[in-house]
């Protein structure tokens, strides 16, 4: 499964890129599991994902909780709580 | 009428106000958020999630249109670098009655604060800092109970 | 800053909005009341009580300034004959926080409806009719409990 | 005592003028008494003041109830409930 991953704000800065394409193993079926798996990719990833309570996510552009499924998803975004307006 | 714009261009509030006033509404409420000119911020940079942002703003506007008797809802959000005094966001609600316009306008900004994927970075001198989300924004959004 | 204008000239909302946005406020809420374009009114004529009107509007603005943390409150009310689509009234409240701006703006229009000596006359064809006061306006004003 | 009286909206139309100067007798000490006294001046006045519940008043530009005093006042305005905005 190939997945497009987007990062925003300080998550993007910590990871060092705003977008990457990954192929997580089949056991990775939730956003939380994906985050744990992504954290192993680099020191920047590990730093960005150290505290999951500071992270929010969207699957195929819909906001979801971290325990949401990523099965069949094409795009997952990981970012801090929003601060618009 | 729902009008959603997310753009790096400065927001022309006169043009936006004229568009909602052109509806046969009677009552128009607006809210403008500006880069504060008094707290030392030199540059405010808004990052967003292209595509998801517009969809989130449209969903907020649609919920407002179905909850109140509105003829129009506008949400214009600027992104990219801004400076003190610049408009960050402009929203407007047009309705036959003022109560609907005022409540819907408050709803639009409260929900935008928690539902739309924007992130603010403040630059003061050499120091760049991502703005932290505020609990008060979630409390403000929660009072609409939807 | 309190700005009160009662005049027969059309209201320039862009100019008025720019004046409140020039304050270092961060949040600006506005309300515009327009002559409805859809209920057959050809001319709406606003009569007022010169002197007493301005004093009443200033008192409303001052109460808003003392009740919320505002940097500015504007009330512009047109008088004389108007036509569908014309602005009757424009009000704005500028504050550091959006909650104050939105609440104060709603307060200004609710209190204006009951506290300021204006009278509306609608002309439809040959028929001229004075608009009756509405109980809902008194209910809206009463909720502010001041 | 000379008093400037102002009328607005349909009260003005019924009375037939927007302003007049009157000298009510000393016994007329409240707005309500003034309205009753003014009602005797013409058919238009009588029509305008037929139903006091439809009238509002200001004494020297301050809104008052109809039982308010007019002692020492220079200007009294009589008008329908307001309908601005």
D77: nearest CA in chain C?
A: C49
CA atoms within 13 A on the CB side of A49: 23
Look at residue A1 and tell me whether its pLDDT is greater than 80. Answer: no
> Can chain C be said to touch chain D, i.e. do they have 3 or more Cβ pairs within 8 angstroms?
yes
Using DSSP's 3-state secondary structure scheme, residue B123 falls into strand
CB contact under 8 A, A8 and B88: no
- Token pair, residue C124, equals 């439809």
Q: Is C58 exposed, middle or buried (0-12, 13-18, 19+ CB in 10 A)?
A: middle
Buried b (16+ CB within 10 A) or exposed e, C111-120: bbbbbbbbbb
Size of interface C-D (CB pairs under 8 A): 70
More confident residue, C144 or A37: A37
Q: How far apart are CA C98 and CA C83, in angstroms?
A: 33
CB contact under 8 A, D58 and C51: no
- Angle ∠(C113,C106,B112) on CA atoms, nearest 5: 150
Candidate from B89, B109, B114 with C-beta closest to A82: B114
Task: Count CB neighbours of C83 within 10 A.
Answer: 11
Are D6 and C44 in contact by the 8 Å Cβ rule? The answer is no
- Please report the pLDDT score of residue A47 as a whole number: 97
What is the separation of C-alpha C25 from the centre of its chain, rounded to a whole number of angstroms? 21
pLDDT in tens, C93-133: 999 999 999 999 999 999 999 999 999 999 998 899 999 98
Query: Any CB–CB contact under 8 A between C49 and chain D?
Result: yes
Q: Is D51 exposed, middle or buried (0-12, 13-18, 19+ CB in 10 A)?
A: exposed
- Which residues 22-61 of chain D have a CB within 8 Å of chain C? 58, 61
pLDDT in tens, D14-61: 999 999 999 999 999 999 999 999 999 999 999 999 999 999 999 999
Query: With left for phi above 0 and alpha for psi between -120 and 50, is residue B84 left, alpha or beta?
Result: beta
Candidate from C88, C89, C117 with C-beta closest to D82: C117
Residues of chain B neighbouring C101 (CB-CB closer than 8 A): 31
Look at residue D1 and tell me whether its pLDDT is greater than 80. Answer: no
Listed in sequence order, the residues at least 6 apart from A45 whose beta carbon sits closer than 8 Å to its beta carbon are A14, A15, A38, A39
CB contact under 8 A, B119 and A9: yes
Q: How far apart are CA B42 and CA B60, in angstroms?
A: 31
pLDDT in tens, C25-69: 999 999 999 998 777 899 999 999 999 999 999 999 999 999 999
pLDDT in tens, B49-101: 999 999 999 999 999 999 999 999 999 999 999 999 999 999 999 999 999 99
DSSP string, chain C: -EEEEEESSPP-HHHHHHHHHTSS-SEEEEEEEE--SSS--SEEEEEE-TTHHHHHHHHHHHHHHHHTT-SEEEEEEE-EEE-TT-EEEEEEEEESSHHHHHHHHHHHHHHHHHHS-EEEEEEETTEEEEPPP-HHHHHHHHTT--
Residues of chain B neighbouring C22 (CB-CB closer than 8 A): 85
> Can chain A be said to touch chain D, i.e. do they have 3 or more Cβ pairs within 8 angstroms?
no
Q: How far apart are CA D5 and CA C137, in angstroms?
A: 27
Are C104 and C35 in contact by the 8 Å Cβ rule? The answer is no
Q: How far apart are CA C134 and CA C95, in angstroms?
A: 30
Query: Any CB–CB contact under 8 A between C2 and chain B?
Result: no
Candidate from B26, B34, B109 with C-beta closest to C21: B34
CB contact under 8 A, C26 and B17: no
- Please report the pLDDT score of residue C134 as a whole number: 87
CB contact under 8 A, C101 and B31: yes
Q: How far apart are CA A56 and CA C59, in angstroms?
A: 47
């Amino acid at each position: 499964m190939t997945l497009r991953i987007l990062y925003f704000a300080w998550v993007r800065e910590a990871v060092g890129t705003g977008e990457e394409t990954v192929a997580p193993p089949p056991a990775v079926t939730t956003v939380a599991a994906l985050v744990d798996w992504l954290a192993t990719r680099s020191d920047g990833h590990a730093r960005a994902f150290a505290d999951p309570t500071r992270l929010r996510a969207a699957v195929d552009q819909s906001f979801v909780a971290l325990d949401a499924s990523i099965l069949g998803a094409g795009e997952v975004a990981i970012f801090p709580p929003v601060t618009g307006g | 009428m729902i009008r959603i714009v997310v753009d790096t261009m400065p927001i022309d509030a006169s043009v936006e106000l004229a568009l909602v006033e052109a509806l046969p509404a009677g009552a128009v409420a607006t809210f403008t958020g500006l880069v504060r000119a008094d707290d030392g911020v030199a540059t405010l940079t808004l990052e967003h999630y292209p595509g998801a942002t517009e969809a989130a703003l449209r969903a907020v506007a649609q919920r407002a249109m179905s909850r109140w008797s509105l003829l129009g809802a506008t949400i214009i959000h600027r992104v990219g670098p801004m400076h003190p005094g610049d408009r960050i966001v402009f929203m407007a609600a047009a309705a036959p009655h003022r109560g609907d316009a005022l409540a819907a306008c408050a709803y639009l900004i409260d929900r935008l604060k928690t539902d739309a994927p924007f992130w603010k970075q403040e630059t003061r001198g050499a120091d760049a800092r991502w703005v932290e989300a505020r609990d008060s924004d979630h409390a403000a959004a929660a009072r609409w109970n939807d």
